[in-house]
Structure 1
């Protein structure tokens, strides 16, 4: 998230009730190019009587063109909807097309807003932050307590979601390590402007699910909370939900590629008997191992130069050893023979060869 001290999301609902209860589902894709990063918010409002506006404070700048409402997409993909809620689902559309009623596991009813992204109002705030608002009157035609209302939207092309740090390259392995740090916070008073913290504190967050989506080449090396579970993102259930233009999810649209996204899942439920606050925080350190052709080439060149230099230095060292330790013994072998055999003189160099059956006797030097 934002690297400043005010780096928390915040949620509150304006209306006539003293407080409202809600639940959050958050998908985070924080690494990769900016075009692949996003925060996906699923917000369930459990009582809507008197509710007028939902507010989401973001500690970063966001343009309204980067907000994508996913309600209609979900209602057209029951397999994805069922995977999202881990339930059996049936969908029936509202005649006004403002929402669809979804039945989970045969009993629980959920109204999903299916209008376009024009329902979002974005207001710039101080310190490069933004306020996203959803007006209930614009997106829900008939308010009823028969079930909860669910909004799901994606904030695309985000910057400042995490910090990165390059590690030491492993030259001979041809790879390097990169570290990513996620500091995710919701309704954290010390990480919010006071005027926002006061508004967020009045409502009650019943439960929060956080999903961190990472490439299979990444792994968590540290976290302030242990994940509830971890799984590979299922191709059949999520195909078509994530756009093809996001290359991180391109494997969903091909038959050959295997799953390449791992989903880490954290969950917290609030009782308000022991939880005085409705805040949440999660810090995670990720490590990514990357193959690097430049590292491989540099290591190969270094090895070649080192090997050549070692050969030249070895020859020089052996020559120096030869000249200093055994100067006569190694360079003048004939003199050694003379020293070892005093009788060895010029006369002994005369080679006499006689053959019994030979007609000639050859005498020569």
Structure 2
């Protein structure tokens, strides 16, 4: 699959050195809800959750050890230089999708993120300001990340979809709310999170079923997921310039840390060549119930988590996953039942006809049924025997 790409768009006249010369660090949270592996083949739609945290870079240039959707690190982060805010320099973000998508497949996740869900996402105790979604932002404090201060959870309701690559791809432009710039307070970091509903034709997940699926009541299914973000190998020159910050309409990033989470049933086997960071059972519906994609439940779901830091964002991120699981073949079961029913009816009718014959009347109904089955087996055997081509049988 071709790569996703994201970049930051600077404010007009903001300049690329506005964040006190520190640069910007990005933390990306990706949750993949593969519906087939969760609902056993009822849907072919993948829910793709994309979360992005933008922060002024740490003074020592090192990762702060904090990570969304995972356990917090033990080390403390260095304090930031100055009292700077991302909103002073960044107007919004853009996401390049290597397939065609429209607004009907986009969902802002801010209204679904309450205190419990945010605590589970960042795996930390958190304090959330009074939720007033008309203000289009919420201030969040993490208990184990106080040195970096609170961050603003922003809405994604100001967005624009642009077709590119002759209509084969889409760029989603999201602007940060203006009101957050006016009342941001001490918050120097911003976080947005949204969901894309991606169908199977996008190429993100390719599905293969076993060849004997038409003859078995259950068959094995494999799904290959090829996830790429800012991967220069499959991006056009225009997209690479934006990712690298060469384009004047793109703000360069200092580093990117990517957290990928795959949500699947406990019975699903997952294969990956990347080192697994952690694996855990998802918390119950009391925490995730209002957040999950429609029709899904948090029961019996495992979160597979991989983490990787990219010091040169232009190098990109690649993740290949292979899922294996069993699917109940209800269509084949129904055909077998239909065939048995038709076979039973036909043998009963044939047995009745044989019983009516004078010379078979003495054997009774049971014998006639056996005779009917024998006739069917002989007929079936005749059709199965094929005459060898180019040879003749001799007595």
The residue aligned with 1:176 is 219
**More moved, 176-185 vs 102-111:** 102-111
Q: CA deviation at 1:98?
A: 3.2
Contact 2:136 2:177 in 1 (8 A): no
Distance 1:170 1:69, change over 3 A: closer
Distance 1:41 1:126, change over 3 A: same
The residue aligned with 2:367 is none
For structure 2, the residue ranges without an aligned partner over 5 or more in a row are 18-22, 37-41, 57-85, 246-252, 345-372, 379-395
The residue aligned with 2:330 is 293
Secondary structure, counterpart of 2:129 in structure 1: strand
Output the CA distance in 1 between the equivalents of 2:377 and 2:288. Answer: 61
TM-score between both structures, scaled by the size of structure 2 = 0.64
The residue aligned with 1:53 is 92
Q: How many residues get paired?
A: 290
Distance 1:192 1:34, change over 3 A: farther
Q: CA deviation at 1:30?
A: 3.3
Contact 2:135 2:179 in 1 (8 A): no
The residue aligned with 1:9 is 4
Output the CA distance in 2 between the equivalents of 1:312 and 1:73. Answer: 62
**2:178 equivalent to 1:153:** no
Output the CA distance in 2 between the equivalents of 1:266 and 1:291. Answer: 30
Q: CA deviation at 1:14?
A: 1.9
Output the CA distance in 2 between the equivalents of 1:46 and 1:219. Answer: 36
Contact 2:28 2:257 in 1 (8 A): yes
The superposition leaves residues 83-127 of structure 1 with CA deviations (integer Å, 9 ceiling, x where unpaired) of 100101001148882321111016143433343x53121111115
The superposition leaves residues 210-241 of structure 1 with CA deviations (integer Å, 9 ceiling, x where unpaired) of 01112344221x32313212222211321211
- The root-mean-square deviation of aligned C-alpha atoms, in Å, is 3.3
Secondary structure, counterpart of 1:140 in structure 2: helix
Contact 2:109 2:193 in 1 (8 A): yes
**2:319 equivalent to 1:279:** no
The residue aligned with 1:344 is none
Secondary structure, counterpart of 1:65 in structure 2: helix
Tell me which of 263, 271, 281 is aligned to 1:213.
263
The superposition leaves residues 36-91 of structure 1 with CA deviations (integer Å, 9 ceiling, x where unpaired) of 521111101113131122111111122123221112321xx211110100101001
Secondary structure, counterpart of 1:46 in structure 2: strand
Secondary structure, counterpart of 2:149 in structure 1: strand
Secondary structure, counterpart of 2:287 in structure 1: helix
The residue aligned with 2:105 is 66
Output the CA distance in 2 between the equivalents of 1:276 and 1:170. Answer: 43
Tell me which of 227, 230, 249 is aligned to 2:279.
230
The residue aligned with 1:193 is 236
Greater Cα radius of gyration, structure 1 or 2? 1
Output the CA distance in 1 between the equivalents of 2:313 and 2:125. Answer: 34
Distance 1:83 1:299, change over 3 A: same
**More moved, 128-137 vs 281-290:** 128-137
Q: CA deviation at 1:269?
A: 2.1
Output the CA distance in 2 between the equivalents of 1:177 and 1:278. Answer: 36
The residue aligned with 2:159 is 120
TM-score between both structures, scaled by the size of structure 1 = 0.69
Distance 1:144 1:193, change over 3 A: farther
Contact 1:43 1:150 in 2 (8 A): yes
Contact 2:32 2:262 in 1 (8 A): yes
**More moved, 31-40 vs 79-88:** 31-40
Secondary structure, counterpart of 2:101 in structure 1: coil
Distance 1:99 1:171, change over 3 A: closer
Which structure features the higher share of strand residues? 1
Distance 1:126 1:139, change over 3 A: farther
Output the CA distance in 2 between the equivalents of 1:36 and 1:109. Answer: 38
Tell me which of 33, 44, 47 is aligned to 1:38.
47
Secondary structure, counterpart of 2:181 in structure 1: coil
Distance 1:175 1:196, change over 3 A: same
**2:171 equivalent to 1:131:** yes
